[in-house]
Amino acid sequence: MASGVAHQQNEMAQAEAGAEMVLLRQPEAPAQTTPARLRLAGMAALRAGFRAVIGIVYPPSCIACQAATGEAQALCPQCWSGLGFIERPYCERLGTPFALDLGDGMVSPAAIADPPVFAKARAVCRFDGTARELVHRLKYGDRTDLALTLGRMMAQAGRDLLRDADLIVPVPLHRTRLWSRRFNQAAALAQVVARQSGVPLAALALSRIKRTRQQVGLTRAQRAENLQGAFRVLPNMRPQIEGRRILLVDDVLTTGSTANAAARALLRAGAREVDMLTFARVVTDGS
């Protein structure tokens, strides 16, 4: 029964996302005729009716534990409290939290000792507990519906970066991994962040041209070596990148090796600056 509920919620979330994108693409109000306005109103009513019917047959449940919730695509109070939200004060470069408020613009010792290639990083929460479960379900459990909730949270956490961003670019998968996984979770999150913020999305601006081995279990140095030359901006994509401030999007930031490699490729293609936005990030004592 639980798997059936998840499946139906997935379909409902994808239908809602599609409807939202159709609504966003409609002409501005002054250019609309009365029939056009009626069509928009009809679409909104259909979507509301669709959600109501699904809510009756499959009552909304927590996206993490399946406990009952007041609305779809939400977390129950217990799972919400299990998210280790990252809020100020934090390192201005790495986005890692400080135990004490040291004032605005402070940078952590880790960022000073080993500056990242990207300018700034932000994340919604720590990569543990509920966050780890959500990321694993999105990434490996075919729960593409989770991208809606996680992406909306990312748009909030990264609002200071989004104000300055010219373009959103997801961290790509190599084509063989994309075939086996069937979708790129970073691209799914980036699409939601773009829709929430209004910043243009360039889903194919960055390519992963080298198939790297899994990063799990590798040291920081091994991760960097593994990702050397992995990313490239193809020549026909360079005009989209040149002179622009890019916001890279991924699901998790661990050591920063992937983010650095991707940011380096964008900067070599002429990007003015690159920032990083993820749903979760690994936080250690030395971060």
Q: How far is it, in rounded angstroms, from Cα 46 to Cα 161?
A: 35
Element (H, E) at 240: helix 238-241
Tokens found for residue 92: 């201005």
- What distance lies between CA 231 and its chain's CA centroid? 19
Query: CA angle at residue 161 from 158 to 163, to 5 degrees?
Result: 110
Enter the DSSP assignment of 97.
B
Instruction: State residue 251 phi and psi, 5-degree precision.
Output: -80, -45
pTM for the model: 0.79
Cβ-based neighbours of 131, under 8 Å, separated by 6 or more: 83, 84, 124, 125, 279, 280
Instruction: Residue 125: name the closest of 20, 252, 9, 281 by CA.
Output: 281
d(CA 118, CA 257): 11
List per-residue pLDDT tens for the chain, 287 residues long: 444 444 444 554 544 444 444 333 333 344 455 666 777 666 666 666 655 554 555 678 899 888 999 888 899 999 999 999 999 999 999 999 998 887 778 999 999 999 999 999 999 999 999 999 999 999 888 889 999 999 999 999 999 999 999 999 999 998 887 777 788 999 999 999 999 999 999 999 999 988 776 666 677 777 777 777 889 999 999 999 999 999 999 999 998 999 999 999 999 999 999 999 999 999 987 56
Beta carbons of 135 and 127 less than 8 angstroms apart:
yes
Residue type, 254: T
Q: Which residue has the tokens 């300018």?
A: 119
Long-range contacts of 64-72 (CB under 8 A, 24+ apart): 64/130, 64/133, 64/134, 64/137, 66/2, 66/5, 66/6, 72/9, 72/12, 72/13
C-alpha distances in Å from residue 119, one per residue of 83, 147, 245, 277: 26, 25, 10, 11
Tell me how far CA of residue 181 lies from CA of 51, 75, 159, in angstroms. 29, 25, 30
Q: Quick one: tokens of 87?
A: 């809020």
In order of 90, 133, 148, 236, the CA distances from 31 in angstroms are 46, 46, 30, 34
253 and 277 in contact (C-beta within 8 Å)? no
